Structures are given as C-alpha cells and as structure tokens.
Structure 1
Amino acid sequence: MLEKIPPREQAGRDAITAFSAQFKAAGYAALEILDGGEVSVVYCDYHDDYVVKLVSATDQQFRFSQVKYKVKRNHQWKPLDLFGTPLRGKINFDAVKNSFGVKMLEHVRNFGDQCEDIILETNVHFHDQIETLCELISKGDISYREMTLYKNIRHAFIEHFCDGVFDSHVTCFCVEKFLSLLRLRPACTYLNEDDGNFELFAGKRIYQYSEVPLSEKEKEGIAKSLIELVRSKSVGRIHEKITVDELNKLAGIKLDDLLSILSISKAAYKTLAAGGDKKAIRNTSILQRVLGDWGCSNESIVYCCEAKSNWDDWLRVNRHDLSPLDTNFLMDRLQRTIGVLKRSAAPFPQLQVEIEEIFNVLNQDYKNREITREILFGGVMASIVRLEL
C-alpha cells in the first residue's frame, strides 16, 4: 500500500542528494593536496560550499567554490538562475539579491587579491551566453562589454550594491573583477548519484597526483572514506573568533587526513618527504605493500623508509665520484638481491644474509666512501621502489 501512493514531496531526498554532490566536489578537490604543490587545505562548508587554500612562498590565496546539482541531466543553468538577470525583460532585484553572483561577489570585496578564483561546479551545463561571456573575459577580449548579458549583470549588481556606502566606481570594479575570476566547470559527472563515476575519477586523481595504484575495491573504499571525511568536516557550528588551528581541525582537510584514508603511514611518509623524496607518497605505498607482505611491523616499515632516505643521501654525495663501472655493478647487485628475495619463503631474514654478502664483497673497494650494512640495506629498499614490486 505504501508504495502505491505517491509521496507529498521529495524535498528532503533532493536536498541530501545535493549535499552528497557538494561532499564529492570537496573531496575530489582535496585530492590535489597529494600533488605537494600550493594546495594545502580544503575547508568544507565554510564561507562557501568548499574553499581551497593555496600557499606559496610569499602569499596565500583562496579558491571559492559553489556546487550546483541537478537531477535532470539535460538542464542548463541560465543567467536568471546564476545572476538574477533574465536574458530579456525587466530585472527583478529580489532575484538579484538572492543570486549566486551577488553572494560570490562578496568574496571579491572581502578578500581582495587573496581571492584567486570563483568556481561554479555542476553536473549539468550552462547557457551558451554565460559560457561565451566567461570565455571572452578569460581571453582578454573586451568585446564582452557589448554583450547584453554583461550589461545586465553590471547594471543589476551596481544597483544592488550602490547603497550609499560603496562608491559606484569601486562597485563597478568589483563586478569586473568577479567576472574575470569566475570559472565554470560544467558536466562534472563525478557529482552524479549512484553511477560509480566518483570512485573512478577519485582513483584516477589519486594516481595522477601520487602514482599510487589502487584496486577497484580500494577505490570504492577510499571514495566512501573521503566523502565521510568531508561530511565530518561540514557539521557543527563555527564561532566567529575561531583560531586557524581550530578551523583546520573542525573544517579543514589536510595531507595527514588523506594519508589516513590512503592507509599510508604518516611517519614513513614524512621520513621520505623530509629526505627530499619527490615521490614520497608513492614510494611509501610501495614499501608498505611489499614489506607488509613480508610480515614487517609498522615500526620496521618506518625504519626501512629511513634506510632508503639515508641511501638516497649517500648516493647523492658519492655517485659523481664513483666510476660508471662501480655504479652499475653496485646497482645491479642490489637489484639481483630483489630477485633472490622474491624466491625466498622468508625474505626478510634472507635479506640479512644478502646484505652481509654484498658488504663483504664491497667493503674493500668502498671503505673510503663510508658504505655500511645500513646503507646497503637502504639501497635494497630503493631497489624495491625502483622495480615497483
């Protein structure tokens, strides 16, 4: 009986779907932190649907993002939807007041040059005139100033903000600035509900930024954990006098959060990263997988990462003084050790035997280069990474 009578409304379910899309977008953006570049934190549901913090050597900037989700896949967002301005006819200033554009323009006024981008992300598409306007502005083609859409937006926003407090010239500049920072992201299929695209895109993004290969089951598990992480960072009231540390804890996603989801040891990763390993996340993942199969404890894995880092330091110092013959002999001998370990039923105990043998052979030739059993052990760890066992 229950299923035969249509429900009065589905607003609650639609709202949950929209929030799910927002969580996916924030989680997807947070994966860029793995790149080790300027993206340092993603703040969830704070100032906007999510905000990306970019930190450089001299400054910090913010990327503000709104997520617009539609169940109907052939929908197009029109100027009225985004700016409160119709394609033709009289402007309704109540629609302008409540529009996406007015709310996002506040970021330009509040953050000035620290506002790097304003992102509008959706699973559907935008009206052609909106895309044309943004494309012309991004190219620096001032012909956009002759577009009716631009004139309507400018007029509507200036009228809205020109309340006797803000000079109209400054407001006009803000409108221009807002439109120049506006970035459209249409047809983001990873936002869609129940089609598996988020798991697929997240897996590709993880590999893009960290080169950590994932099985289908791992992709699914990480995707769920990522969405749950964003959800946990999107709840709870944030008071006005919050500190940066408190904000990061309550609303921010940082590298440590992602390492936990990827099941990568923070201690092992930080050891490699501190040693200048450019692929620290990937290399930690490889060592954890191989050494875990060998039955090593987490403490042993951290030690192995330290040994690899020490080997990298030793090789950087000594490789230019070694002859090509010596270098190739050493690298070949370490790699052949991996083959022995693959065939061994107890690889870690066998490794000790192999290291001792290599050390005894090389000790006389390398005694002036401070080669030790620990350095050779680190060389084997580096060979494991290099061969991607």
Structure 2
Amino acid sequence: MRTIEALAPGEDVGRDTISRFDMQFQAAAYAALEILEGNGVDCVYCDYHDDFVVRKKIGDHISYHFFQVKTKKKENDQYSLSEIFGLSKSGVKVDDERLKKVRSSFAAKLILHGIVFGETCSDVTLLSNVHFDDSVVKTVDELRGKAPKSKAATFLANNFSAIFLIESDSDIVPEIVLSKLSLKPAVRYIGKDRESFSDAARSAVHRYSEIDLTYHETKQLADGLVDLVYRKARTKLEGVPPDGIAALIGVQLDDLLSVLSISRSVYDALCAGEDERALKTASVIQRWYRRAEADEPMIDYAAQQKVSWDMWLRNARHIYTPFELATLLQRIDTLFELWQTRGGDFTVMHDLIKHFVAEPSLKTFAGLDEGLVFGAMNAVLVRKYSR
C-alpha cells in the first residue's frame, strides 16, 4: 500500500508561494517597527497600492514610500536586468512590443507611483532576499544620479513618456520621477522561516525603544507582527470610506503597542508627562506588574503616579536644596530595597509607604503624599529594570 508520504508531489508551488508571501509580510512588519522611533513614520499600509507602503507625516506634510518585495528560492540567485526592467544589456530597439514589456516590468510598476502620486511619493524601492545583477545596480545608480550613460538607463530616460503614456504637455519631470527608484538587496531580516526576522525585530525594537526582549518575548513579537500584517493584508475594503482605510489595513502605533503588550493609556500618560523613554518605561512597568499579577487599573495608576512624581521632582529642584533632594532620593531607594527584600508584595508596599510619609522629617516636602511616594517607587523600579 502506498501512503501519501511515500511519493513526492508532482509540484510544490503552493508551499513556495506561502513562503514568498510570508517574506513579504516579514518585510512589511520590519518596516512598521520604525514607527516606534517616533521620527514621523506613523503607518505601514499592507498589500495596498503595492506590497507595502510606508507613510511618513511631519507636521502637515505627508509622504509615501512604496515597496515591492521580490524573492527567489536560491539565495545565490540574482535578479537580472530583463527581470527588473524588461531590457537586455546589449540594448533594444524602440517598438510597441518592447515599450509594453518595459511598462509591465517590476521597476516600471514602482516608478508609476511617482507619476500618480507626484511629490507625495518620496521613494519607490525594490526589496529582495537576493542580490541584483550589476547591470541593474548600475542602471538604478545612474537614474538616481540623473546622469544616464548605460543603454538601459538611457532607454528609460529617453523613452519615459512613451513607456508611461505621458502627454506631451504634462508637467511631470522624468528625471525627478526616475530618481526615486532604489534597491534594497539581500536583506537579512526576511527568510523562509522567521528566525532571521525574529533576531532583526528584537534588535530593531531595542534600537528604536530600548526595550530588551527575552527569547520567548522575541518569538511572540515576531509571530505577532507577521500575523498582524497578514490579517491587515487580507482585510476587504469594499464599501470602506477613505478615512477608514488606514485603520483597517495599516499597521499603526496602537497595533505595535498591542503586540508589545503595552496599553495605550499607560503610554499616553508617560508621553504626557514628557518621559523621554515612554515606550521603555511603559514596557518595564507593564511587564513587571503583570508578572506580579496586578490588574490593568493598578498598572494605569502606577504609570500615572510615576508621571506625577516626575513632575513633582522637576518642580522640587527649584524649591529644595540639592542636599535635601539627594537625601530624599536616597531614602526612597532604601525604601524600595526594603520592599524588595520583603517579597515585593503590594500590601507590604502600601504599609511601607504609609509609615514613610508619616515620618515628621517628610513634612518638609510639600505635597509628598502616599500617591507621590508610590510614583517614586515606580521611578526606581523603571531605573533598576531598565539597565
């Protein structure tokens, strides 16, 4: 009797297709992590207009960076000039068939965004798990440098209007549009499995937010991010108004906070308190308190009181002497250590704080009540567990 496992299937295209899509989702998920840096990137659209699109918003100015993800099964393969541009190294004559082939090429489909979206399209990029042939790299470099010399770059520059069916009276500047094309070859954060993506994601999260994840947390993050992009990419948009599209198919800050298990209320409270490392602080507070089996209201309160303490301390520096504040901070550190040695229980913390604020020497400091000291304890917690 022949079992299904005993014979190899006639083709295995489906499995390879799934792997390619997963790498596309990995690339989009990795790009979305830049949102954590807070440099203007605020949304990554998944499988919308292209494989993914990165939106950057600075003030009232919005720009879009379009990405196509092209992958090959063998990592030592390269994408040729013909595959990317529909051209050969030896040069080609200009005819309708050739123009049509170039028009349907990978590069042309990307370049078209620069025509359709004009100045709001900042860049268009071909991203791949393999390298591009030298002729492709040279062509793109020349187009970006606005000095076409090779046959391929010259063909694209001289026949721009014919390729993209641009009217003669159009105000589109071919050199500007063509210069937006770039390559991102042999990226190491996408692969057939998610191991490389996991490592890269962990590094990116630390680089953008200083959050240092454990191995288990990293795996959860990686799978959560890629699965999130998959869900976003598969969301149907029929009947959805334009202003609702980003929330449905775009990865935004709330999505990343959810994957990182950081509540928006805690993050917003820390941002409002001008915490320079709001993401890091939120991560430490939430992970520590969840391990202590605290509920969400307690976690929110801890963050809010930490902010209140930070504000009180900023004002106190203008009122009390450095010696007085240094003594107070030293005593709070000692209080924190005492709490830790007694097991870190919340009931113990409450008793310690209650007796602490009742001390006559603390009356010197106006407004220093139990809530503020609780906030001070959380400030110590963040400092110690952020190292």
* TM-score, scaled to structure 1: 0.90
The yes-or-no answer on 1:231 pairing with 2:230 is yes
Equivalent residue, structure 2, for 1:383: 380
Q: How far apart are 1:361 and its partner, in Å?
A: 4.3
The yes-or-no answer on 1:58 pairing with 2:60 is yes
Please, which of 352, 355, 372 is the counterpart of residue 354 of structure 1? 352
Equivalent residue, structure 2, for 1:85: 87
Equivalent residue, structure 2, for 1:217: 216
Q: What's the CA shift string for 1:86-122, capped at 9, x where partnerless?
A: 1114252332121112211221111111111112110
Q: 1:93 to 1:377 in 2, by over 3 A?
A: same
- Whole-angstrom CA distance in 2 between matches of 1:349 and 1:31: 38
Secondary structure (helix, strand or coil) at the match of 2:379 reads helix
Amino acid of the residue matched to residue 245 of structure 2? L
Q: How far apart are 1:6 and its partner, in Å?
A: 4.6
Equivalent residue, structure 2, for 1:192: 191
Higher mean alpha-carbon deviation, 300-309 vs 264-273, is at: 264-273
The yes-or-no answer on 1:270 pairing with 2:273 is no
The yes-or-no answer on 1:112 pairing with 2:118 is yes
Equivalent residue, structure 2, for 1:365: 364
Equivalent residue, structure 2, for 1:147: 150
Q: 1:213 to 1:379 in 2, by over 3 A?
A: same
Q: How far apart are 1:69 and its partner, in Å?
A: 0.8
- Whole-angstrom CA distance in 1 between matches of 2:85 and 2:205: 35
Q: How far apart are 1:241 and its partner, in Å?
A: 6.6
Question: Does structure 2 conserve the Cα–Cα contact (< 8 Å) formed by 1:85 and 1:153?
Answer: no
Q: 1:136 to 1:382 in 2, by over 3 A?
A: farther
Amino acid of the residue matched to residue 388 of structure 1? Y
Q: How far apart are 1:355 and its partner, in Å?
A: 2.1
Equivalent residue, structure 1, for 2:21: 19
- Whole-angstrom CA distance in 1 between matches of 2:194 and 2:245: 33
Please, which of 135, 138, 160 is the counterpart of residue 129 of structure 1? 135
Amino acid of the residue matched to residue 84 of structure 1? G
Secondary structure (helix, strand or coil) at the match of 2:59 reads coil
Q: What's the CA shift string for 1:167-198, capped at 9, x where partnerless?
A: 27745x23x22332122111112211026101
Q: How far apart are 1:357 and its partner, in Å?
A: 3.8
- Whole-angstrom CA distance in 2 between matches of 1:4 and 1:349: 63
- Whole-angstrom CA distance in 2 between matches of 1:100 and 1:379: 56
Question: Does structure 2 conserve the Cα–Cα contact (< 8 Å) formed by 1:355 and 1:376?
Answer: yes
Question: Does structure 1 conserve the Cα–Cα contact (< 8 Å) formed by 2:110 and 2:125?
Answer: no
- Whole-angstrom CA distance in 2 between matches of 1:297 and 1:237: 35
Amino acid of the residue matched to residue 188 of structure 1? V
Q: What's the Cα RMSD here?
A: 2.2
- Whole-angstrom CA distance in 2 between matches of 1:168 and 1:21: 42
- Whole-angstrom CA distance in 1 between matches of 2:163 and 2:181: 19
Please, which of 75, 78, 86 is the counterpart of residue 76 of structure 1? 78
- Whole-angstrom CA distance in 2 between matches of 1:314 and 1:188: 47
The yes-or-no answer on 1:36 pairing with 2:35 is no
Question: Does structure 2 conserve the Cα–Cα contact (< 8 Å) formed by 1:30 and 1:41?
Answer: yes
Question: Does structure 2 conserve the Cα–Cα contact (< 8 Å) formed by 1:83 and 1:101?
Answer: yes
Q: What's the CA shift string for 1:283-339, capped at 9, x where partnerless?
A: 111112222333322111110100001111112222133221112112211112221
Question: Does structure 2 conserve the Cα–Cα contact (< 8 Å) formed by 1:102 and 1:157?
Answer: no
Identity over aligned residues, as a percent?
Answer: 32
Q: 1:241 to 1:199 in 2, by over 3 A?
A: closer
- Whole-angstrom CA distance in 2 between matches of 1:5 and 1:205: 43
Question: Does structure 1 conserve the Cα–Cα contact (< 8 Å) formed by 2:103 and 2:164?
Answer: no
Q: What's the CA shift string for 1:52-111, capped at 9, x where partnerless?
A: 111111311111111011111111112211111211142523321211122112211111
Higher mean alpha-carbon deviation, 192-201 vs 88-97, is at: 88-97
- Whole-angstrom CA distance in 2 between matches of 1:189 and 1:31: 16
* TM-score, scaled to structure 2: 0.91
Equivalent residue, structure 2, for 1:167: 168
Equivalent residue, structure 2, for 1:205: 204
Equivalent residue, structure 2, for 1:290: 288
Aligned length: 379
Question: Does structure 2 conserve the Cα–Cα contact (< 8 Å) formed by 1:18 and 1:69?
Answer: yes
Q: What's the CA shift string for 1:237-291, capped at 9, x where partnerless?
A: 32477221x2023211111111111112222222212222221121111112222
Q: 1:198 to 1:346 in 2, by over 3 A?
A: closer
- Whole-angstrom CA distance in 2 between matches of 1:346 and 1:169: 70
Q: 1:331 to 1:183 in 2, by over 3 A?
A: farther
Q: 1:310 to 1:72 in 2, by over 3 A?
A: same
- Whole-angstrom CA distance in 1 between matches of 2:238 and 2:341: 59
Q: How far apart are 1:384 and its partner, in Å?
A: 0.8
Secondary structure (helix, strand or coil) at the match of 2:233 reads coil
Q: How far apart are 1:48 and its partner, in Å?
A: 0.6
Q: How far apart are 1:204 and its partner, in Å?
A: 1.1
The yes-or-no answer on 1:308 pairing with 2:306 is yes
Runs (5+) with no aligned partner, structure 1: none
Secondary structure (helix, strand or coil) at the match of 2:148 reads helix
Question: Does structure 2 conserve the Cα–Cα contact (< 8 Å) formed by 1:83 and 1:96?
Answer: yes
- Whole-angstrom CA distance in 2 between matches of 1:240 and 1:289: 40
Secondary structure (helix, strand or coil) at the match of 1:190 reads coil
Tell me which protein shows more helix as a share of its residues.
1
Q: How far apart are 1:371 and its partner, in Å?
A: 2.5
Secondary structure (helix, strand or coil) at the match of 2:53 reads strand
Runs (5+) with no aligned partner, structure 2: none
Secondary structure (helix, strand or coil) at the match of 1:237 reads coil
- Whole-angstrom CA distance in 2 between matches of 1:346 and 1:225: 31
Q: How far apart are 1:372 and its partner, in Å?
A: 2.2
